[in-house]
Structure 1
Amino acid sequence: MATDLITRARAGDGEAFRELTEPHRRELQVHCYRMLGSFQDAEDALQDTLLDAWRGLPGFDGRASVRTWLYRIATNRCLSTLRSAARRPAKAWDIPGVEPPEPTRLGEVVWLEPFPDALLEGAPAAPLGPEARYERTESVSLAFVTALQALPPRQIAVLVLRDVLGFHAGEVAGMLDTTVDSVKSALKRARAGLRDRRPELTGAEPPPAPGSPAENAVVADFVRAWEAADIDALVALLTDDAFVSMPPLPFEYEGRDVVAGFCAGLFDAGRRFALVPTRANGQPAFGSYLRAPTGARHGTGLYVLTLAGGRIRAMTRFENGVLPLFGLPRSLPARG
């Protein structure tokens, strides 16, 4: 069947090409997202991958599977993006009426964007090799994707292809036009770099299962505290090492007291919010809508929670431009 589709696609049959590539489209999108950390950059890389595949069909010799061939193209497209200097820059503080407290540090991965769970669920479970180290949910978590961005481009590619997708070292060497020894060396350095750059990837209490009563309880408590601007109830939900980040703003806040001070600044400025639940990166998430005196509620962004046991370890706030990705409106109807 695949051979027939390849023959027809080489002859210019666009529908045959679509049938050949569509089964892999969603997993390729997730692959590009892991490597690039940006939903929009991943979309661009995916489109370029499909265009390159269409143009490169005459050179496809069939020695590798169509899936492996597509991963080779996608990975090299992502490497080109990672090596480019055109990543989106940090933004200045832009929350009106709120003076930012002194940040713990300035984040480097300001291009980070969330990935909707609805698209993850639409992706077929990719066959993983025996050496894959990460479950799918863990490998798209914000902590993991952010940590990847701190690695050199080649190390990102090798770690994702080997430890997430489970491709054999020889297959990865072929994709990257290098040797098996180089792949093994890059993987060793990538694993060490991942541990060093984001210690929250190890040692944390695991989060509750998605949709479990334990997760639902934490989420319900957070919604009540946030919508009521109840800082004491919110602080009770935080781990000692709680962390807030806000890409593309570079400000990052770490530690329960520091995070509490940041949130109190929002509430003390009179800002009150309504939250609409969704999911991103396998984690609970909420569209955040600022309540105006007129009763209107305007979207200000998206919060993604990282849980550890029954508490909140991190909150990541994204701009309101990501709301449509989650099927969320720019504003909510005014309440009477």
Structure 2
Amino acid sequence: MTEALAAALGGDERAFGELTEPYRRELQLHCYRMLGSFHDAEDVLQETLVAAWRGLADFQQRSSVRTWLYRIATNRCLNAQRDAHRRPVQPLPFEVPDPTRAGEVSWLEPYPDALLDPEHRYQLRESVELAFITALQQLPPRQTAVLVLRDVLDFSRSEVAEMLGTSTTAVKSALQRARETLDVDRARTDRADPGSDIERELTRRFAAAYTARDVDGVVALLTDDAWLTMPPWPHEYQGHTAIAAFLHCVPAFRDRNPLRLEATRANGGPAFGVYARHAGESEFRATGLLVLAAEGNRIGSLTHFPPAECFPRLQLPLVVSKFATVIGP
């Protein structure tokens, strides 16, 4: 590391890449936690690396390279939040019942499990769950930064204060307020262990009911207070009755189109690429990604994302003529 740093300070761009590459993936995840958007996280990560390269001469080694990069990334994220111009949301392409509530976070995107550090994937799970990422986006930006840096990444209070250009007292106060908010927002039941027999059986039963367009079967697998959400649209539905009413309006369910699911994982939980074959067509076309939050032997939430951006990141095709593993009747 010392040799790479010395070479990078001398203008060696390849050495700079060697210096920063070990931190690239965790920095991307940090930006995702801060911003809730995979697309925005990628952009800010690139800005961070460019800023680090241009400002390398000012790095005085009072902190580690990792801490220095996190300081740049965090402040770039805060700048991005201040300058945010969220992409416009088109109307839903089909009629839906009145939602239980309108969500506040419309730009949420999924994060592929394949990009998580394999050695720490299970330890990282709680800090990448969609419920946590959503809650972070509803905090004031600096509270989000403090909570992530302190509670998720375990930086010291003094390190966080230096990163944010503030006092340790301000960091302590912001962390306390953020924790109080999340204690309310993140009340939850027992989670099913990733890859456990319980989780596998639950997702198998869900896939069977969903591809059979069995609304009652899907709803029976949900907790009583389960939520169905669909960023970027604000519509959110809670409980069996509301979710069933929504599913009955989904075109593939309503029109009895053949459905197939392709299993994957996102945000620490099971997920499915959903495909439908419409009348007169021979191919199945992607309709969305469903991310499940398994709580015990039930599903606590279903989050639907449009396929266009997230499918390529999950290495899922948008059009399929033949499935290697068929999940569906």
Q: Specify the TM-score bucket, using the shorter chain as the normaliser.
A: over 0.9
**Cα deviation 1:193-217 (Å, max 9, x = unaligned):** 2233x2xx22x22221111100000
> What is aligned with 2:217?
233
* 1:154 and 2:150 correspond: no
* 1:255 and 2:254 correspond: no
- Distance in 2, matches of 1:157 and 1:125, equals 21
* 1:320 and 2:307 correspond: yes
In structure 2, the CA distance between the partners of 1:125 and 1:7, relative to structure 1 (3 Å rule), is: farther
> What is aligned with 2:83?
84
**Cα deviation 1:50-93 (Å, max 9, x = unaligned):** 00110111000111000000000000010111112312343311
- Distance in 2, matches of 1:110 and 1:159, equals 22
> Which of 73, 96, 101 is the equivalent residue of 1:105?
101
Do 2:213 and 2:256's aligned partners in 1 also have CA atoms closer than 8 Å? no
* 1:224 and 2:208 correspond: yes
TM-score of the aligned structures, taking structure 2 as reference length: 0.93
Tell me the secondary structure at the aligned position of residue 109 of structure 1: coil
> What is aligned with 2:320?
332
- Distance in 1, matches of 2:145 and 2:123, equals 17
Shift of 1:334: 5.3
> What is aligned with 2:326?
none
Shift of 1:125: 4.5
> What is aligned with 2:268?
282
AA partner of residue 34 (structure 1): R
> What is aligned with 1:208?
192
- Distance in 2, matches of 1:333 and 1:73, equals 45
Do 1:149 and 1:156's aligned partners in 2 also have CA atoms closer than 8 Å? yes
- Distance in 2, matches of 1:81 and 1:313, equals 32
**Cα deviation 1:285-317 (Å, max 9, x = unaligned):** 011111122231001111100111101111000
- Distance in 2, matches of 1:288 and 1:188, equals 41
* 1:140 and 2:124 correspond: no
Tell me the secondary structure at the aligned position of residue 299 of structure 1: strand
- Distance in 2, matches of 1:125 and 1:212, equals 17
* 1:168 and 2:164 correspond: no
Q: Which consecutive aligned stretches of 4+ in structure 1 deviate over 6 angstroms post-superposition? A: none
* Coordinate RMSD, CA, aligned: 1.6
AA partner of residue 124 (structure 2): R
AA partner of residue 297 (structure 1): F
- Distance in 2, matches of 1:6 and 1:176, equals 24
- Distance in 2, matches of 1:183 and 1:69, equals 18
Unaligned runs of 5+ in 1: 127-133
**Cα deviation 1:2-53 (Å, max 9, x = unaligned):** 2221121122111100110000110000000000000000000100000011
AA partner of residue 191 (structure 1): R
**Cα deviation 1:128-170 (Å, max 9, x = unaligned):** xxxxxx9410000000000000000100000000011111100
> Which of 301, 309, 314 is the equivalent residue of 2:296?
309
AA partner of residue 143 (structure 1): A
> What is aligned with 2:60?
61
> What is aligned with 1:117?
113
Tell me the secondary structure at the aligned position of residue 240 of structure 1: strand
Tell me the secondary structure at the aligned position of residue 192 of structure 1: helix
AA partner of residue 36 (structure 1): L
Tell me the secondary structure at the aligned position of residue 262 of structure 1: helix
- Distance in 2, matches of 1:206 and 1:56, equals 46
Tell me the secondary structure at the aligned position of residue 100 of structure 1: coil
Do 1:295 and 1:334's aligned partners in 2 also have CA atoms closer than 8 Å? no
- Distance in 2, matches of 1:121 and 1:166, equals 17
Q: Percent identity?
A: 53
- Distance in 2, matches of 1:271 and 1:152, equals 43
> What is aligned with 2:327?
none
- Distance in 2, matches of 1:191 and 1:312, equals 25
- Distance in 1, matches of 2:322 and 2:168, equals 60
* 1:268 and 2:292 correspond: no
